[in-house]
Structure 1
Amino acid sequence: MMLRRLKEDVEKNLAPKQETIIEVELTNIQKKYYRAILEKNFSFLSKGAGHSNMPNLLNTMMELRKCCNHPYLINGAEEKILSEFRDSCPHHVPHDFHLQAMVRSAGKLVLLDKLLPKLKAGGHKVLVFSQMVRCLDILEDYLIQKRYLYERIDGRVRGNLRQAAIDRFSKPDSDRFVFLLCTRAGGLGINLTAADTCIIFDSDWNPQNDLQAQARCHRIGQSKSVKIYRLITRNSYEREMFDKASLKLGLDKAVLQSMSGREGSMRGSISSPKKEIRGTYCIHQFSKKEIEDLLRKGAYAHSPH
């Protein structure tokens, strides 16, 4: 026997959650690095790197994921990109030159740079999740230069400091706008219902980890509707990886949700000693074809892009 309770069963008036997958293009700089990693072009990758920070091509998949997030994650790339950026405009170096180079280097950061001002103007609070601590370092650097007030939790932040950061972000008159979180470290057990927007900067191999991360703000006690933005790099290893994770989630839906009959609205019978009120069960049982589609295509096959 397996007893499985969902939030929707406990809290009938839970705010709705809407997830949008945003496909992002690689920038020209990313394309150069992506191709060099695929072709194992070591001479290109080692430009700008010293003996201590030579690029590592032992794990090609990991390097491709880094490249999709931000080329600065590749050893030696930051110095090379900054020198090229400086050379491209020798007479007019902008005062925020480091910020410009950082944003223009990565498609996801270009998008984030456009999205955050709109969210701030709309009075929203944002959670940003990433798998990589070094990626959070880059995002932190970006937020500092843009003068956005933020908090941060990753595996290095200890319990009491962690709770203090959550309290600062969650208090009613808080001026903190963004919360940076590592998906594994900040994805369990903490309550961040002060935020109503969640950005999944890069997806996990295990889709349940991303769902746990979203549940930091979409949980009992949340009064506003929650928007999830998942950033995926188009035509890349990251897209392929997300499709594989989507198949795993499809398996979860096909097996667990069809078994418990939770799709659709459930109105049960309420019995009391004096009288018995019978409701109707509107249980949506998955058809054989629907289950096959979930298994073959995954949970995100028909999601809005």
Structure 2
Amino acid sequence: MTRAHPPMLARHVMERSINAALAEDLGEAGDITSQATIGPNATAVARINARSAGVICGLECAVAAFSLVGPGLETKQFVSDGAIIGSGDAILEVHGNARNLLAAERTALNFLTHLSGIATLTRSFVLQTEGTNARICCTRKTTPGLRALEKYAVRCGGGHNHRFGLNDAILIKDNHIAVAGGLPAAIDAARSFAGHLVAIEVEVDTLSQLEEALGAGVNAILLDNMDEDTLAQAVAIAAGRAKLEASGNVTLERVAAIARTGVDYISTSRITSASVPLDLGLDISID
């Protein structure tokens, strides 16, 4: 499946996160180590290199960190977000004021390694679904304050986004059903409330609940913690009447078998919450 356009990262969202990270690191006094040891007009050249293979993501964040920390820095990108890189590949070069370069180094690398780790793990999941129609999706289990960035990283890795928050789609889960007085009552209430552009998805645990949800005509159904045989039965029962999403205990070892059942989507929190930062390093030299 080809993507018509590359993923985009909203500038105002990114800058808000970068500014918060710089403020956290620099505090009220700034980088006192660099102020104590480096003259204000000293310049340097730095290059961020890959120390392991993966999918790069967060270059815009790194560039923003170097530009927002202060004047006097210029950057040169050697790759773009979403690129598959190998160990030793050059990622980004920065040159200019040495104090500002060092002040932004950790913030730039934190975003770049973290988001690249998510993109890399996402791609591993996506590769396991090749030959099927299943799409790998993230969840709302994201780092507080970084959801938009982490969901962008998922897209850079070839995955897709589930809802961004509680406000952009209705997902009726088991606790909603319990409080509402049953699945039919919850669906009826949601249908009365929702605008015509708001999708309604229902979480089900059994095939009988699946039948109820299909009868109500919801847009999508989340099949929670079902084994592969049950998922395949669910696909046969639904027969295309609703989009089906498999979720729960989705591991890299199991995801291919889940995809072969014929579900439309596979959602997993692992791609955002269990990723390992990609190993990238910044090497500096005197200008």
Taking structure 1 as the reference length, the TM-score comes to 0.29
Taking structure 2 as the reference length, the TM-score comes to 0.30
